[in-house]
Amino acid sequence: MKSMKVTLVLGTRPQIIKSAPLICLANNDPEIELSIVHTGQHYDYEMTKIFFEEFNLPEPTVNLNVGSGTHAQQTAKIMIRLEKILLKQKPDLVIVPGDTNSTLAGALTAAKLHIPVAHIEAGARSYDMRMPEEVNRRLTDHCSTLLFTPTENCTKNLLKEGIEEKKIYQTGDTMYDVLLRELPKAEKTTILEKLGLEPKTYVLLTAHRPENVDNLENLKNIIEAAIKLKPIIVVFPIHPRTQKQLRKMKLYKKIEKEKHIIMIKPQGYHETIKLIKNAKLILTDSGGMQKEAFWLKIPCLTLRETTEWPETMILGANSLVGTNVQKIIEKFNDIMNKEKEIVENLKDLPNLFGKGEASQKIIEIIKSIKSYLKN
Ligand code: UD1
């Protein structure tokens, strides 16, 4: 008889990725009865179902089907629908990974029902409250019972905010667990052949942050920079938000004319990791890809002014370039001119994100304090 009921709330692409090993471990654990509640924040095949298939995950127990909307609509809809589910399920613990609207809505709903909340990836801070994710992270951390931090810096951020030390467990990063586990499968994909690419001949570009893609000036700049990288090939998997904005701002046709820019639909996890590992450089505004580039030792230029992952900036591995075209091109040329030295530096990067055992540790901690959580 399973003695602990755990509900995992997720709804977006990065949350599925960072939960994958945890789901597998929990599902095979004799003590844990796991229920997965998918909020429906992401709903396209390429944004959600593909990852359940790639990682062989069980279908979510429930899908709240909230879909897209404003922040308030999305968060509120999740809360209203999730509350009913949690009242029925009566879990001993609700786990929320990451920093999306699904994360915050899950944490708030559970906390208000006095159900203990565990936050995976706690303590990350960009100190930029204009980012929706920063609001989500902070509020989630402050209503969580257990905070699983990926790095020492994240632990320190929480302590600075007055969060009790006994609630914090520095486990390492579950995204690193996934990478180590899935790398052999990623290596086997044929995405490079499919796109006619040779290793280390292209830049991988992604952009989806609202502050970049919902702003005409910033989106134009990112595209301008990609055009200026000619003759270097730019591989550009396009997030649905970005796709919509490129069409709305009439930039889609402009890119289509550029032979060196390869636009593709959002890729699965394995294909993406293969594309990162074989790129010359990563140009991104994604939080997760900054870390994946760091772990795979590929130089990264981040299309933002701040990052919640300052750990990745050591030894020139990652630099913040914002969306200024000149700055992006200058920094790119700088890295290319010093390519040998930088690649040498990247070889020595310390691992600040744990040893790939974070998910295992999280499961052990949850089980060890089972009786405390039940009271
Ligand atoms: C969300 C997260 C962000 C995360 C990102 C990963 C928040 C505030 N943001 O951003 O932290 O990095 O997911 O992808 O939670 N859309 C589709 N199909 C989908 C999903 C979205 O077409 O399956 C389109 C819709 O037009 C939607 C837009 O993308 O309005 C934005 O989706 P939304 O879930 O609001 O935020 P993301 O930009 O994906």
What is the mean pLDDT of the segment spanning 137-145? 98
pLDDT at 2: 85
Supply the pTM of this predicted model.
Answer: 0.97
Residue identifier of the C-alpha nearest atom 17 of ligand 1: 240
Residue 196 has pLDDT above 80, yes or no: yes
Ligand 1 centroid vs 42 CA: distance in angstroms?
A: 6
**Length reported for the chain:** 375
Binning pLDDT at 50, 70 and 90, where does residue 129 land? Answer: very high
Residue 159 has pLDDT above 80, yes or no: yes
Residue 241 CB–ligand 1 contact under 6 Å: yes
Ligand 1 centroid vs 155 CA: distance in angstroms?
A: 28
**Which of 42, 108, 126, 303 to mutate for ligand 1's pocket (most ligand atoms within 8 Å of CB)?**
42
Residue 321 has pLDDT above 80, yes or no: yes
pLDDT at 60: 98
Mean pLDDT taken over the chain: 96
Write out the DSSP string of 259-299.
TTEEEEPPP-HHHHHHHHHT-SEEEE--HHHHHHHHHTT--
Ligand 1 centroid vs 241 CA: distance in angstroms?
A: 6
pLDDT at 261: 98
Residue 135 CB–ligand 1 contact under 6 Å: no
User: What are the structural domain ranges in the chain?
Assistant: 4-173+354-374, 188-347
What is the mean pLDDT of the segment spanning 120-129? 97
Ligand 1 centroid vs 160 CA: distance in angstroms?
A: 31
What is the mean pLDDT of the segment spanning 301-317? 95
For residue range 246-283, list pLDDT tens digits in order.
999 999 999 999 999 999 999 999 999 999 999 999 99
For residue range 200-243, list pLDDT tens digits in order.
999 999 999 999 999 999 999 999 999 999 999 999 999 999 99
Is the Cβ–Cβ distance between 276 and 191 less than 8 Å?
no
pLDDT at 108: 98
pLDDT at 339: 86
CATH of domain 4-173+354-374: 3.40.50.2000
Alpha helices (H) in 49-151, listed in sequence order: 49-54, 71-89, 101-112, 132-142
Could you confirm whether 260 is annotated as catalytic?
no
pLDDT at 296: 97
Is the Cβ–Cβ distance between 286 and 18 less than 8 Å?
no
Euclidean distance between CA atoms 150 and 290, whole angstroms: 14
Q: Which strands form 281-284's sheet, in the order they lie side by side?
A: 261-264, 233-237, 202-206, 281-284, 300-302, 318-320
pLDDT at 92: 97
What is the mean pLDDT of the segment spanning 318-340? 95
What proportion of the chain, given as a percentage, has pLDDT over 90?
93
Residue 373 has pLDDT above 90, yes or no: no
Residue 101 CB–ligand 1 contact under 6 Å: yes
Residue 1 has pLDDT above 90, yes or no: no
What is the mean pLDDT of the segment spanning 287-293? 98
Least confident range of 148-152, 166-170, 366-370? 366-370
Domain 4-173+354-374 identical in fold to domain 188-347: yes
Residue 252 CB–ligand 1 contact under 6 Å: no
Euclidean distance between CA atoms 149 and 166, whole angstroms: 13
Binning pLDDT at 50, 70 and 90, where does residue 345 land? Answer: confident
What is the mean pLDDT of the segment spanning 28-36? 97
CATH of domain 188-347: 3.40.50.2000
| Nearest residue to 81 (alpha-carbon basis) of 71, 95, 67, 70 | 67
- Give me 58's structure tokens: 């069980």
pLDDT at 341: 87
Euclidean distance between CA atoms 32 and 40, whole angstroms: 24
Residue 285 has pLDDT above 90, yes or no: yes
